[in-house]
Amino acid sequence: MNRPDYFNVIEERLNLLALRIISRGRLNILDFHGHSENFYQFFLNEVNGWEVTNENNFKQNVEAIDLVDHTNKLVLQVSATASKQKIESSLSKDSIKKYKGYTFKFVSIARDADELKKDTFKNPHGITFNPVTDIIDKNAMLSKIRGLNMHDQERIYAFVKQELVNDYNPLKLESNLARVINVLSKEDWNKKDSLGEISTFEIDRKISYNNLNSAKTIIDDYKLHNSRVDKIYTEFDSQGSNKSNSVLSTIRQEYAKLKGSLSDDKLFFAVISKVQEKVLNSSNYTSIPFDELELCVNILVVDAFIRCKIFENPKDYNYATT
C-alpha cells in the first residue's frame, strides 16, 4: 500500500464513524458516544504523540473533562455535539479549576467545527484555550494525517483498521446510487431553482399525513431541486435503461426494510443514514467532504419522497401540477 491508500481507509472509517454517531444520536441510541470516547483516547495519542488517559476510568463522569494528558498538560472534552453553548458550559465547570497551567481542547468527533473556531467564548476560570488551535474536529485531524510521512500514516492506518472494524462486505461493488451522487456533488446547489411542476400544497399534505415534523425542514429545503434532479436522471438514463429506476429502487428498498420498526421522523432520518452508508460502501464513490455527501443524499431522498417512492401517500395525492 502507499500514502493515498492508507489515508483513504483512515478517512473512510472516521467519516463512517461520524455518520453513525449522528444517525444513532437522532434515534436516541447513544452507545457509540461512549465507545468513541475510548477510541479517540488512543487515536489522539497515535496522531499527535500525546499521552492522554481517560479520566472517567478513575472517577466516573468528571464534569467537562473526558481525557487528560498530564505530561503535555492537556485536558480534553470529546463530544458529538459541536456548539458554543457546549464549549462554554465545559469551560465554566468547577472541575476545570484544578487544572491550572493546562490547556483545554475540545474534540468534535461528528460535526465540522470551522465556524466555532471563529467565535469567542466565556472562560471564567481562565484556563488556556485558543479556539483556532484548541477546537479539533474530524477534518482537522484528517488534514494533519494527510501531511504525515508514509510510515506514520501506516501506523495510524493499522490502528484505525483494527479499532474501527468494517461491518460490511470487504468486496465493495459499484452502484448507480454512487454514480448519481458523484454527479450531484459537482452541481452548484446554492443556485435557486423554481418549483417547476410540483405542487407544494400536495407535498405539505403528504408531510402532514406521515407526521414528519422535524423532517419537514429538510423536505422544504430541498424540494426546490426536484426539477434539476429530474434532468440529471434523464441524462443518467441516456447511458442505459433503468439506471434512475435502480437508484430510486435502492432508496425504496431501504425504506421498506426500516418501516417495520420505525415511523415518522425517525424513519425519514434512518433512510437518509442507510443511503449514506450504501454510498460510502460503493467502490465507485468518489470521496467528498461528509457535509457535501449529506447534502446530496438529502436531495435524493427528498426527491424520492416527492415521487411517491417512500412514505404513504394521502388520498388522491398528485405532486405534479398541470
* 0.75 surpassed by pTM: no
Is residue 226 very low, low, confident or very high in pLDDT (cuts 50, 70, 90)?
A: confident
Neighbours of 98 (CB within 10 A): 10
Residue 158, pLDDT > 70, answer: yes
Give the residue with greater pLDDT, 205 vs 319: 205
Is residue 23 very low, low, confident or very high in pLDDT (cuts 50, 70, 90)?
A: confident
Write down the pLDDT at residue 168. Answer: 44
Give the residue with greater pLDDT, 282 vs 240: 282
Give the residue with greater pLDDT, 100 vs 288: 100
pLDDT for 7-21, tens place per residue?
A: 888 988 898 888 888
According to DSSP, the residues that pair with 79 across neighbouring strands are 108
CA distances from 54 to 36, 106, 205 (A): 12, 14, 50
Write down the pLDDT at residue 47. Answer: 94
CB of 106 within 8 A of CB of 79?
yes
Is residue 104 very low, low, confident or very high in pLDDT (cuts 50, 70, 90)?
A: very high
Span 151-159, mean pLDDT?
89
Write down the pLDDT at residue 63. Answer: 63
Residue 244, pLDDT > 50, answer: yes
Write down the H helix ranges in the chain.
Answer: 3-26, 31-48, 84-91, 131-134, 138-146, 150-163, 176-184, 200-209, 215-222, 226-237, 243-258, 264-280, 290-306
Write down the pLDDT at residue 72. Answer: 96
Scanning the structure block, which residue is given the C-alpha cell 500525546? 50
**Residue 119 — φ and ψ, nearest 5°?**
-90, 170
Is residue 38 very low, low, confident or very high in pLDDT (cuts 50, 70, 90)?
A: confident
Neighbours of 78 (CB within 10 A): 23
> Which helix H or strand E contains 309, and what residues bound it?
none
Span 120-147, mean pLDDT?
94
Q: Which residues contact 61 (CB under 8 A, 6 or more apart)?
A: none
% of the chain surpassing 70 pLDDT:
89
Q: Per mean pLDDT, which range of 84-88, 98-102, 118-122, 163-167 is the poorest? A: 163-167
Q: What's the chain's average pLDDT?
A: 85
Scanning the structure block, which residue is given the C-alpha cell 461528509? 290
Residue 322, pLDDT > 70, answer: no
pLDDT for 24-36, tens place per residue?
A: 777 777 766 667 7
Is residue 170 very low, low, confident or very high in pLDDT (cuts 50, 70, 90)?
A: very low
